[in-house]
Structure 1
């Protein structure tokens, strides 16, 4: 019944929604790859798109500053191994500010958009991803104004005009589909990456697919529903998957999948939530200490993506996977690339 309900809801939205068409029918796999110097240079085999994290609005609010430009050039060079690979610069991230100041000025917006075009040309990129977290909110200790939502739309319109129709323009969106007017941005963006993680803290799941006793306000299914109701067609939505866990402060850090899988089985035991379709760890006393993602939960999420006609999957971030590429291979196989 879930599948039929969502299928018909998606069809209704698509019939009256925005007009921008998608460039391909096959599923996409977006990997966020960080600028950190210690991060692994990615293997593009199981990826269709790389979002390089991050660029930022510059100090004068009229252009772009890129973290570790040399690494971005290395990422672009991966096209020699996989010519079809799409590489985008992701601008923003948690705590990355000056969006409000830039977007509130028509002059700054146009200069910023022109710099997006410059960056695309200079680094031979396939487009721009905007990760403003979040318009109208100062939760990440950045500036904001009540005009941000409207200015966000104006900014995307200016970027689209500057970079042209053939380049990709995407955004990262909060799971609840707040802060953004999706009906208004729909003509400008190719697709939306839903950050369907960090929804709750342990002992509750932070990226549950469906509801259970261990979920709180949102699930991945509810996040997709919220975006469709807000005006974004299902086939323009990309479901975000975390390659990391969230745990109690007593848990060893970091909590990337590569670290979680190597935790002592004498100290921690994997459990499976058959309703939420995600795993979690308990300690020797039975307390939940970590909520995370593994091969089984990714298979469930990929089945959901296929069943509901979503555009594809995104994950944060590539270097959280193990050296064998267990999770990225699971995404690739699950989406039948």
Structure 2
């Protein structure tokens, strides 16, 4: 059943009341974070995390490989398993602007080369699985090669990866396979129903809804639609229902959280900058920078959109607007996860939360 907007505040309150529940209550939900690296001082966050996904391996000449300093960074994540043996560490291949997927998926031989190299890499590094982050099948907005045939070939590629991982694992062991996926038109190159049996879970990238390519400001990680948003605005709620309607079990869906904000400058006055045209996209700000320089500072005033379950900042003097996730919006998302019996929550990325404030908000919200 769809979460009705008037109920959002009451669900959020229920989530906050549940904070005092036992840790075992949260055990049924996954907390999964992407990590480009790990600062050893952040070890206090480990107990709140089930899986870290290393970002990124890449596709080179059809094979999944680690390049540059990626191997060293991955090994720092894997070393955390000595501190917390229950922690899983998987390897993501791809990311925005990372190509090679369409070419590898185009032939049976190419799919086998991709799948077998990925499975060997997982086993050789002592990792726990693979995350496929092709952004996006059938799309070339990031500058990568694509084909109209990507839709069917993506299914075949994931099936080949699943088989290769199972062969590499052998009896009694399971390597996880997840996929990072967007929503709306950005998922029309994926046959969701056909892909679902091959993967353990879907990492819903329910963020970046507004960015340098969109004509107005807005909530880049909004849970539901603001009254000011256009009727077709992308939201986390809409993404969840898109995947459920396609046949994905709710427990395979992980709702995405952004540990960074997006700033828009020269924003037209009105509605405190929300859903207004802008002159320049300024860039991203990780959570520590938001706390240090922007939230309640230097002319920025925080606002809360109860209908969307999202926060934003507006600077009336400079006409700058920042959209972001914070503990309050995370609590709303956690309540939504529980109300809809989803599989848990995912976030980008660990380096943006050195004090563990946002990871803790996720875990507390899911108790």
Q: Per the shorter chain, which TM-score range?
A: 0.7 to 0.9
- Residue of structure 2 equivalent to 1:140: 142
Q: SS at 2:285's partner residue? A: coil
Question: How many angstroms does 1:249 deviate by?
Answer: 4.4
Conserved? CA contact 1:175–1:197, under 8 Å: no
Q: Which shifted more, 300-309 or 257-266? A: 257-266
Return the structure number with greater helix share.
Answer: 2
Question: How many angstroms does 1:254 deviate by?
Answer: 4.7
TM-score, scaled relative to structure 1: 0.87
Conserved? CA contact 2:223–2:308, under 8 Å: yes
Distance, in Å, in 1 between the alignment partners of 2:320 and 2:334 is 25
Q: SS at 1:271's partner residue? A: strand
**Are 1:221 and 2:237 counterparts?**
yes
TM-score, scaled relative to structure 2: 0.80
Conserved? CA contact 2:89–2:127, under 8 Å: yes
CA RMSD of aligned residues (A): 2.2
Q: SS at 1:298's partner residue? A: helix
Distance, in Å, in 2 between the alignment partners of 1:151 and 1:3 is 35
List gaps (5 residues or longer) in structure 1.
5-23
Q: Which shifted more, 294-303 or 197-206? A: 197-206
Question: How many angstroms does 1:87 deviate by?
Answer: 0.6
Distance, in Å, in 2 between the alignment partners of 1:71 and 1:278 is 33
Distance, in Å, in 1 between the alignment partners of 2:283 and 2:78 is 31
- Which of 1 and 2 has higher RCO (CA within 8 Å, sep 6+)? 2
Q: SS at 2:130's partner residue? A: strand
Conserved? CA contact 2:206–2:255, under 8 Å: yes
Q: SS at 1:52's partner residue? A: strand
Conserved? CA contact 2:32–2:49, under 8 Å: yes
Equivalent pairs counted in the alignment come to: 313
Distance, in Å, in 1 between the alignment partners of 2:302 and 2:64 is 47
Conserved? CA contact 2:62–2:103, under 8 Å: yes
Distance, in Å, in 1 between the alignment partners of 2:247 and 2:33 is 25
- Residue of structure 2 equivalent to 1:64: 65
Deviations 1:205-246 (A, max 9, x none): 111111113434111101100111122111110011100111
Conserved? CA contact 2:51–2:89, under 8 Å: yes
Distance, in Å, in 2 between the alignment partners of 1:291 and 1:213 is 16
**Are 1:188 and 2:187 counterparts?**
no
Distance, in Å, in 1 between the alignment partners of 2:165 and 2:73 is 23
Distance, in Å, in 2 between the alignment partners of 1:173 and 1:46 is 23
